[in-house]
Structure 1
Amino acid sequence: MTGGRPTGAAPSLPAVASVAPGLPGRPWISQDWLDVVFLHWRVDVSAVAPLLPAGTRPDTMAVDGTDDGVTTWVGLIAFRFEDTRFPPLGPLGRTGRIGDFVEVNVRVYTVDEQGQRGVVFLSLDAGKLLPTLGARVATGLPYRWADAAVRKRDGRVGYAMRRHGTHLRSVLDVRVGPAITEPTALETFLTARWGMHVHRAGATRFWPNEHDTWALHRASVVSLRDDLVGAAGLPFALTELPPDSVLYSPGVTTRFGAGR
């Protein structure tokens, strides 16, 4: 870690809540996120701040769960999408389903001028073409099409993906450990994020989400090779270091509200 507390840093916010605050209105999309692997590295805010949309700044949390004003986090998150639904449209039937696929994303942690805490996705690689194109158009998020697969056996969960048209890969394998009965403040900070900041059409919007409280397990890395974090504009050597946090969850059903 390098760098000191920024001059005139914003005051600390209340702790991140592990329970969703609830959506302001009816959800427009619902998805199952399953076999979620969270890998995180701590970085100085100076590595993240230039990558953020206008009106947001890095959200900060030190390893001990305090807000030191200079420590933020980079996440490499892999999971399976299942059963995407659009509640305003009613039941779509099997032919209207988007289908199941794997996603691997790179995300950082943000807070806006209204104090809303969320994430910014620097990249999202998805293993099915039509949902990738649809999500990119509908949300403005930086989705990319990839070959992606998941493997789960003997207490281990592994993901592998390669972005189409590039040599960029992410291959990770973790061993799932014991369930966490009381997550630390940092574990809650890294997983209980109730919205995302998205820059689109010249403005930064906050898209809220809700889901049940994460059922978390601690986990350990068996193997990791990743090009995505460096390609997203972060230090290339970051994923050559052991992650500072490794977590796993069987999954949740997530609902998103409209951006505002």
Structure 2
Amino acid sequence: MRTEPVTALSPRGIRHVLLTQRWSELTFVHWAVPPDVVAPLLPEGTRPDVLDGVTYVGLVPFRMVGVGFLRLPGVPWLGTFAETNVRLYSVDGAGRRGVVFRSLEAARLLPVLTARATLRLPYRWARMRIDRTGDRVRYTTRRHRLEGAPRGGTVEVRVGAPVTDPGPLEHFVTARWGLHTRVAGRTLYLPNAHPQWPLRHAELLHLDDDLVAAAGLPEATGEPDSVLYSPGVPVRFGPPLPITGTRPVGPRGGSVRR
């Protein structure tokens, strides 16, 4: 099957809503890397998504707002928190483009435990802050001691003019309509839908981060290839879909033959 196009609008609707939320005050920091660097880090049944011969590693701090189940209102307090993720870009055998999260820092413990238990997403409990002064936005994060080494860092940007004509790169690193994750030995695709991103140019003023290297990507260093900001979008997630052709993982990590 052909890979779905890189598009600013979701290629599919969400008929059965599993989760609702809003992603707010996002900064997208991206580095280009060779596809073979990230290929071993992706779940079975997926491959690196590529644009002009390279793929990208993303560091994305933002505020999660009003997480709600089904079509119910968002959960007060617990459903709103700061988050930072390190992510890669994937394609499955059905041609669906997605995101693979290597780590997700979040400032609420219950959502961290829930996402770990249900979707096996690599969430970590962290202290996080988002501070805005005029056109400057500063994100700080540090994992709690219970999560092991105190990983984290600071991202500070100056928000600039609107991106009036987003190009292929802007769409590639932001317009993602699902995520791939590994649950109980199977790779799943969790689809989402949201309006087109309102994007703005951003200038990186300060970056002090060890989350990307801790996620197994020490090659993503130096000046980023893309820095963008968005005030955010409302999001709906549908039920997870199995990726055909993957096999359960055996007790020692090998595939189980059927």
What TM-score does the superposition give when structure 1 sets the normalisation length? 0.87
User: Per-residue CA shift, 1:114-157, capped at 9, x if unaligned?
Assistant: 11100100000101111111121121100010010101112011
Matched, 1:246 2:227: yes
**Where does residue 251 of structure 2 map in the other structure?**
none
**Where does residue 250 of structure 2 map in the other structure?**
none
* 5+ residue gaps, structure 2: 242-258
**Where does residue 246 of structure 2 map in the other structure?**
none
CA distance in 2, matches of 1:91, 1:41: 36
Q: Where does structure 1 differ by over 3 angstroms across 4 or more consecutive aligned residues?
A: 11-15, 90-94
Contact kept, 8 Å, 1:160 with 1:172, in 2: the verdict is: yes
> In structure 2, the residue corresponding to 1:48 is in which secondary structure?
helix
What TM-score does the superposition give when structure 2 sets the normalisation length? 0.88
Matched, 1:221 2:211: no
Q: Residues 96-175 of structure 1 correspond to what in structure 2 (within 5 A)?
A: 98-165=78-145, 166-175=149-158
User: Per-residue CA shift, 1:48-104, capped at 9, x if unaligned?
Assistant: 001011000000013xxxxx3xx110000010011111125x34774xx63321000
Deviates more, 1:11-20 or 1:131-140: 11-20
Cα distance change on mapping 1:257 and 1:223 into 2, 3 Å: same
Kindly tell me the number of residue pairs found equivalent between the two proteins: 238
Matched, 1:22 2:12: yes
> In structure 2, the residue corresponding to 1:233 is in which secondary structure?
coil
Cα distance change on mapping 1:146 and 1:92 into 2, 3 Å: closer
CA distance in 1, matches of 2:2, 2:216: 27
Cα deviation for residue 164 of structure 1 reads: 1.4
CA distance in 2, matches of 1:219, 1:92: 30
**Where does residue 247 of structure 2 map in the other structure?**
none
| % identity of equivalent residues | 47
Cα distance change on mapping 1:23 and 1:14 into 2, 3 Å: closer
User: Per-residue CA shift, 1:35-60, capped at 9, x if unaligned?
Assistant: 00000000011110010110000000
The letter of the residue matching 1:102 is: A
**Where does residue 28 of structure 2 map in the other structure?**
38
User: Per-residue CA shift, 1:163-220, capped at 9, x if unaligned?
Assistant: 1122211210000010011101111011000000011101101100000100000101
CA distance in 2, matches of 1:18, 1:24: 16
Contact kept, 8 Å, 1:15 with 1:185, in 2: the verdict is: no
1:185 to 122, 143, 168: 168
> In structure 2, the residue corresponding to 1:238 is in which secondary structure?
coil
CA distance in 2, matches of 1:44, 1:103: 27
User: Per-residue CA shift, 1:12-34, capped at 9, x if unaligned?
Assistant: 84531100123342211001110
CA distance in 1, matches of 2:29, 2:89: 14
* 5+ residue gaps, structure 1: 1-10, 63-67
CA distance in 1, matches of 2:26, 2:144: 23
